[in-house]
Chain A
Amino acid sequence: MEKFIQLLVYGLQLGSIYALLAIGYTMVFGIIRMINMAHGDFLMMGSYAVFFIVSLFFADQMLGPAIALFVILAGASITGFIGVGVERIAYKPLRNRPKISSMIAAIGVSLFTQNFFRAIPFIGPNPRTFPKLLKDVLFYVGPIQLSLVRIVVIILSIVIMSVLYFIIMKTTIGMEMRAASCDKDASSLMGINVNRVISATFFIGAGLAAISGAFYANNYPVLTVTMGATLGNKAFIAAVIGGIGDIRGAVLGGFIMGVIEIMISSVYSELAYGISFVVLIIILLLKPEGLLGKPMIEKV
């Protein structure tokens, strides 16, 4: 039982990392109907951004919670702007072309960023050790030993995702995003600047990927230029399991993936990745549109 609860906490923490990353896949898909194959690389860039901010300004210091949060948000903003730039340069010119063109562009962006970063001397090719952002505190609930940082990461992720949900459902920019995801022409006829809305979506998606990267690297502190690829794939699966296009679905899918992966690797770690695909396939066989997805209605 103690073991189970501990694993559950690990699973939820990994799940919150997947969930934060999956949101970007789902939001970008929602608004431009494209799978951004380079989304995982935003996670990589975000972790490096945080790494460099810490090494430049706070080298060899233990960060307090406030500074740690600030550093993560700074890394997220930098990555957010990179996300906006990537969309403007690589995807926007292809927006009215067949979807396959922008998929290929995304793969190109991914290969480019990974190799470009590898070639820059102060980034690659050797792995970097991510600094501990926070000193972990272990505490006991009854007989169960828990890590404070893990709990904080889970809670923080849930707070961030709730704020995002509020933004989407209640604010003007959120309503604009939902309108544009439904019908871009009609949105522009309401005076919505659709390009601005798409940029905002990429900013949020890339920013959340960066936060996810910082949380991930805090636990698995090895940075490599390809770290986004596997995590990105899993988060993409999470988004599909939840129902791509639906933010709550991405969160649910992320947590399911995280918990399953940890539970399985506690028994046999080699299998975890493979099992994720099995879960994906089973869920899609039972519910092709994903857990929270609506059946696709063809536009007439």
Chain B
Amino acid sequence: MLLEIKDLHVNYGAIKAVKGISFYVDKGEIVTLIGANGAGKTTTLRTITGLERAANGTVHFKDKDITNIAPHRIVEMGITHVPEGRRIFTNLTVMENLKMAALLRKDPEGKKASYEEVFELFPRLKERRSQPSITLSGGEQQMLAVGRAIVTGGDLVVLDEPSMGLAPKIVDEIFEVIQRMNKEGKTILLNEQNAFMALSIANRAYVLETGNITIEGPASDLLTDPRVKEAYLGS
């Protein structure tokens, strides 16, 4: 198991956002968490990378206990987090954003190659490399957010709703890149409201409802599960 979550509880003051969930991600998998607004998907990811504190339970990565350690140290251990809402540095240029993502990389050759890879995947970013990134469109900002993850190059990439607010064509583009990252050896943990897209590319899936995991299994099973169909696939 690359990532293992056991009995995780997370609270915001009196609000219990995550109420004791357990799940795991194996090396090489694409695993998705789906669920409605406010189910606790973002909270779960933010706790994995140390942005929120676990009130209870543990997070193990590569067999090490990483519960509640500082985010920058978790990133260093190999988890790359593409946060909800993109969160690019709007006061930095496109290239500077990528350089920030490369902070922890020690190999100058690999760094350069990863910039090239991003520009190859997203030619629009190449054209805009020295532009302040506040001038990017929403889709381009998401490309940059995913581009940063490619540059950071952790073994596990967690993505929080990469499709949010994007045109279908750009969603396809982003999902293709996610699948390609997976083929190149990255393990993927994906939060999505777009359950159909997520289940189509994932190996396994968990359904989160108000802080609890209610359904879990192979993604292909969930695609045909009547409960999932009714609640999340709109049919």
Contact = CB atoms under 8 A, between A and B. Distances in A.
Interface of A: 172, 175-176, 178-179, 181-183, 185-194, 300
Nearest to A192: B72
Contact of A189 (B83, B92, B96): B83
B152 interface: yes
A133 B202 CA distance: 71
Given A175-B92, A179-B92, A191 B87 contact: no
Contacts of B148: 190
A181 B100 CA distance: 13
B143 interface: no
Contact of A182 (B80, B85, B89): B89
Contacts of A181: 91
A183 B89 contact: yes
Given A175-B99, A176-B100, A186-B83, A191 B89 contact: no
B87 A183 contact: yes
Top 7 closest pairs, chain A to chain B, by CB:
A188-B71, A186-B87, A191-B104, A191-B75, A182-B89, A190-B100, A179-B89
Secondary structure at chain A's binding surface: helix, strand, loop or mixed?
helix
A179 B90 CA distance: 9
Interface string B83-110: 1010111111000100111011000000
A2 B129 CA distance: 50
A187 B152 CA distance: 12
Given A190-B152, A191-B72, A192-B72, A185 B100 contact: no
B91 A192 contact: no
B103 A172 contact: yes
A181 B88 CA distance: 12
B88 to A, nearest CB: 7
A178 B91 contact: yes
Contacts of B85: 300
Given A175-B96, A175-B100, A189 B71 contact: yes
A172 B103 CA distance: 8
Interface of B: 49-51, 70-72, 75-76, 80-81, 83, 85, 87-92, 96, 99-101, 103-104, 148, 152
A189 B50 CA distance: 9
A291 to B, nearest CB: 18
Contacts of B50: 188
A30 B96 CA distance: 18
Contacts of A183: 87, 89
A189 B103 contact: no
A191 B49 CA distance: 11
A186 B88 contact: yes
A186 B80 CA distance: 11
Contacts of B91: 178, 181-182
20 contacts: A178-B91, A178-B96, A179-B100, A181-B91, A182-B89, A185-B51, A185-B71, A186-B87, A188-B50, A188-B51, A188-B70, A188-B72, A189-B80, A189-B83, A190-B75, A191-B103, A192-B72, A192-B100, A193-B72, A194-B72
A175 to B, nearest CB: 6
B58 to A, nearest CB: 21
Contacts of B90: 182
Contacts of B104: 190-191
Contacts of B76: 191
A178 B88 CA distance: 12
A178 B133 CA distance: 13
A190 to B, nearest CB: 5
A188 B49 CA distance: 10
Nearest to B88: A186
Contacts of A186: 83, 87-89
A264 to B, nearest CB: 36
Contacts of B49: 189
A292 to B, nearest CB: 14
A43 B153 CA distance: 44
A211 B80 CA distance: 41
A178 B92 contact: yes
Nearest to B50: A188
- A179, A193, A194: residue with the most chain B Cβ atoms closer than 10 Å: A179
Contacts of B72: 188, 190-194
A182 B100 contact: no
Nearest to A181: B91
Given A175-B100, A190-B152, 11 more contacts: A176-B100, A179-B92, A181-B91, A182-B91, A187-B100, A188-B50, A189-B49, A189-B80, A190-B103, A191-B152, A194-B72
Given A181-B91, A182-B89, A190 B101 contact: yes
